[in-house]
Amino acid sequence: MKEFKFTQAHKEKFEEDGFLALEGFLSETECDKLRGECMKIVDEMNPEEHNTVFSTDKHEQMESNYLLTSNDKIRFFWEKEALDENGKLCLPKHQALNKMGHALHILSDPFREVTFSEKMQSIFKALDFVKPAIPQSMYIFKPAKIGGEVNRHIDATFLYSDPLKLVGVWLALEDATLNNGCMWFVPGSHKQCDVTYRMVMNPVEGARPATVFEGNMKHHDFDDYKAVPVKKGTLVLIHGMVHHRSNRNTSESSRNIYTFHVTETNDSKWSERNWLQPANGTKFPLLYEDSNATS
């Protein structure tokens, strides 16, 4: 496998479109290692201890602290169709999960190795990050037949800092196709986007839901979105303000991916109202620190 190099042309394409697909970033072996690690984690998980559904429209998981306290843990979120009317699992657990997160990059050696690799660092150095931190990571299953739709959104709605410099890393561990729920983007939408809609901690202490949405989202028409199917091993960079979405998976093939976010911490303040906060007075782990450039 040839050595990975993030070029000036890559940087310019990302800055122009707000997303960039880099084919062959992970080898077949690296992808299978992450999928194997995921299988092991799910094998060891007791479904009775994890009964939270993930829904991109109703945000049912926000009714409890299960998600809000997942900053230093690996927790599990089911597809709605995987549970019966009594909230009991009605499918095998490996075929029923929407996602797991949000500390895979901290608690799992294989995921940590990929996240903090030199080739990953090289991308963010080229993008002029000085002190990049990783606030969260997720494994998204998009299971066959029931994998849920992800509605139109920007990542800065959920992960905000001032000034904002946020990039998502999205690694395809299986082929992502038109049939199984590949990503769709509005090219260049990050350049005309303001963060007018945010999910924040409920200002009323102890109230439910624990988070609320403030403001209004200015959506693009569905016709503005461009499908980006990618092969297994592809890395997709996602600007924090680019509009994107994915369709429901009704196919016979799953669409497993590993994703995490990188935020600049040099001269930038993480919002205290974000749903995700560092655990127990700690700080988010740094991808690296350019000591020559920090202020």
Tokens of 257: 């991916």
pLDDT at 53 over 50: yes
pLDDT in tens, 124-155: 999 999 999 999 999 999 999 999 999 999 99
Q: Is the dihedral of CA 96, 98, 100, 105 positive or negative?
A: positive
Sketch out the chain's domains with CATH numbers.
8-281 (2.60.120.620)
pLDDT of the residue at 54: 55
Q: Where is average pLDDT lowest: 40-44, 61-65, 163-167, 271-275?
A: 61-65
Angle at 176 between CA 16 and CA 55, to 5 degrees: 90
Q: Where is average pLDDT lowest: 25-29, 79-83, 212-216?
A: 79-83
Confidence label for 25 from pLDDT (cuts 50, 70 and 90): very high
- What are φ and ψ of residue 177, in 5° steps? -120, 175
pLDDT at 161 over 70: yes
Can you give the C-alpha Rg of the chain in angstroms? 18
pLDDT of the residue at 62: 47
Q: 């007075």: which residue's tokens?
A: 281
Q: Which helix (H) or strand (E) holds 213?
A: strand 211-215
pLDDT of the residue at 127: 98
pLDDT of the residue at 1: 61
**Averaged pLDDT of the chain:** 92
Summarize the confidence of residues 202-216 as an average pLDDT. 88
All residues at 6 or more sequence positions from 74 whose CB lies less than 8 Å from its CB, including other chains: 41, 100, 101, 103, 104, 107, 108
pLDDT at 178 over 80: yes
pLDDT at 228 over 80: yes
pLDDT at 291 over 70: no
pLDDT in tens, 99-117: 999 999 999 999 999 999 9
pLDDT at 58 over 50: no
pLDDT at 34 over 70: yes
Confidence label for 18 from pLDDT (cuts 50, 70 and 90): very high
3-state secondary structure (DSSP) of residue 127? coil
Q: Which of 238, 194, 201, 183 is nearest to 217 (CA)?
A: 194
pLDDT in tens, 39-48: 999 999 998 7
